[in-house]
């Protein structure tokens, strides 16, 4: 059984986001980039399935600029077997990503596809659901526990009301939530081995996928700065402030 994991290159979660001067987007030049944390959880889960003997091969796939190879190398250092880069300088929106992943999946024929539930840069939370629809495969989103047996996946999902456990047939698309696992650190020997693991590079054109953006960003602005707190002299003054100045959010 093959497992395919999508890994996205995003601005590192420790970096303070800055909006470009022309308000066309966020600044990415000379900014530390890393693997999307939810995708890192996906890689870890695929590796655990391989260690349990359920999965025989883990394939890491990234889409975007040439530097996405670094993100794939991170997955390979964690333990993934090989990587695929769909290289393009075009802006990739969720539907285009889903179409590209579908093309790769039809070539590789994995039995399980794992994605992060969302990327921390755009927070779209759309790609996994779109990919499932395009493939016609069952989906299990926001997974906090996965158990594979007899051609099925038993998945515990994080929902608004608590937890939900569902049983789906494989092949399937699964998206990861935070409580699924704790990703491992790549050891130095594995980092060295990752340099020798293969990464195949292709393009949207070679896959026959049109990635032309369908949405246009008109303007990006920073959220308003939080106002400083104020001290009040009495409970009566506090109540008065709450009545006159409090806003319902």
What is the set of domains in the chain, with CATH numbers? 2-215 (3.40.50.620)
Structure tokens at 148: 């594979």
β-strand 57-64 against 2-6: which pairing, if any? parallel
pLDDT at 54: 95
Three-state DSSP class for residue 146: strand
Name the DSSP letter for residue 17.
P
β-strand 9-11 against 33-35: which pairing, if any? antiparallel
Evaluate whether 5 touches 60 at the Cβ level (below 8 Å). yes
Edge-to-edge order in the sheet of strand 152-159: 162-169, 152-159, 139-149, 172-176, 112-116, 2-6, 57-64, 82-87, 199-202
Structure tokens at 66: 């040439």
Give 237's contacts (C-beta < 8 A, 6+ positions apart): none
pLDDT at 30: 86
- In tens digits, what is the pLDDT along the chain, a chain of 249 residues? 999 999 999 999 999 888 888 988 888 888 999 999 999 999 999 999 999 999 999 999 999 999 999 999 999 999 999 999 999 999 999 999 999 999 999 999 999 999 999 999 989 999 999 999 999 999 999 999 999 999 999 999 999 989 999 999 999 999 999 999 999 998 899 999 999 999 999 999 999 999 999 988 889 888 888 888 888 899 999 998 888 876 644
Does the pTM surpass 0.95? The reply is: no
User: How far is the C-alpha of 6 from the C-alpha of 11, rounded, in Å?
Assistant: 16
User: How far is the C-alpha of 66 from the C-alpha of 87, rounded, in Å?
Assistant: 6
Structure tokens at 129: 């659901």
Strands (E), the chain: 2-6, 9-11, 33-35, 57-64, 82-87, 112-116, 139-149, 152-159, 162-169, 172-176, 199-202
Taking CA 209 as the corner, what is the angle to CA 206 and CA 211, rounded to the nearest 5 degrees? Answer: 120
pLDDT at 249: 45
pLDDT at 137: 97
pLDDT at 242: 86
What's the full length of the chain, in residues?
Answer: 249
pLDDT at 71: 96
Helices and strands: H and E segment counts in the chain:
7, 11
């Amino acid at each position: 059984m093959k497992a395919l994991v999508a890994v996205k290159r995003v601005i590192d979660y420790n970096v303070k986001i800055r909006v470009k001067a022309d308000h066309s987007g966020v600044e990415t030049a000379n900014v530390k980039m890393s693997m999307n944390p939810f995708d890192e959880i996906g890689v870890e889960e695929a590796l655990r399935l391989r260690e349990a003997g359920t999965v025989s091969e883990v394939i890491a796939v990234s889409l975007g600029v040439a530097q996405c190879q670094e993100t794939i190398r991170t997955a390979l250092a964690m333990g993934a077997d090989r990587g695929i880069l769909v290289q393009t300088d075009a802006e990739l929106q969720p539907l285009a990503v889903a179409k590209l992943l579908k093309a790769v999946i039809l070539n590789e024929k994995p039995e399980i596809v794992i994605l992060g539930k969302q990327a921390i840069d755009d927070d779209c939370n759309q790609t996994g659901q779109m990919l499932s629809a395009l493939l016609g495969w069952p989906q299990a989103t926001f997974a906090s526990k996965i158990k594979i047996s007899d051609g099925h996946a038993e998945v515990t999902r994080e929902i608004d009301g608590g937890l939900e456990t569902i049983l789906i047939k494989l092949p399937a698309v699964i998206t990861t939530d935070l409580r699924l696992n704790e990703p491992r650190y790549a050891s130095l020997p594995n980092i060295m081995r990752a340099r020798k693991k293969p990464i195949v590079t292709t393009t949207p054109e070679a896959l026959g996928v049109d990635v032309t953006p369908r949405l246009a960003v008109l303007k990006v602005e920073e959220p308003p700065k939080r106002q400083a707190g104020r001290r009040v002299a009495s409970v009566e003054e506090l109540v008065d402030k709450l009545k006159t100045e409090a806003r319902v959010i």
